[in-house]
Amino acid sequence: MDPMQFPYKSQFAAYSVAHKHPEGLDQLYCFCACDRSFGHKSLLSCFTDNHGANCGICMKEALLAADMTEKGASLIEIADVPDDTYKTAW
């Protein structure tokens, strides 16, 4: 979805990440359980509809992935951070 349609800075930033790094987000699991409730296949799926704009977990994961990408982290390193953060929630 177009980031310009979201009025809040965090929403705009997260949807901008999805536009800039779709290949990366498409390889990351989303820990908000939207795969079960909305049928999402990856973190990128959260930003193809309005779900990501209303989910703090999705936005936090996307922004973290972008920050780590800009710092040169590999996809495996990026995937490990949410895994470690949310593994105790399950």
Q: Cα separation of 41 and 88, whole Å?
A: 21
The two three-digit tokens of residue 82, written as one number: 């949410």
For the entire predicted model, the pTM comes to 0.86
Other C-beta atoms lying within 10 Å of the C-beta of residue 13:
15
Cβ pair 30, 42 in contact under 8 A: yes
Q: Render pLDDT for 6-18 as a digit per residue (tens, 0 to 9).
A: 989 999 999 999 9
Q: Render pLDDT for 12-44 as a digit per residue (tens, 0 to 9).
A: 999 999 999 999 999 998 888 888 889 999 999
CA atoms within 13 A on the CB side of 59: 17
Nearest to 11, CA basis, from 51, 71, 70, 42: 51
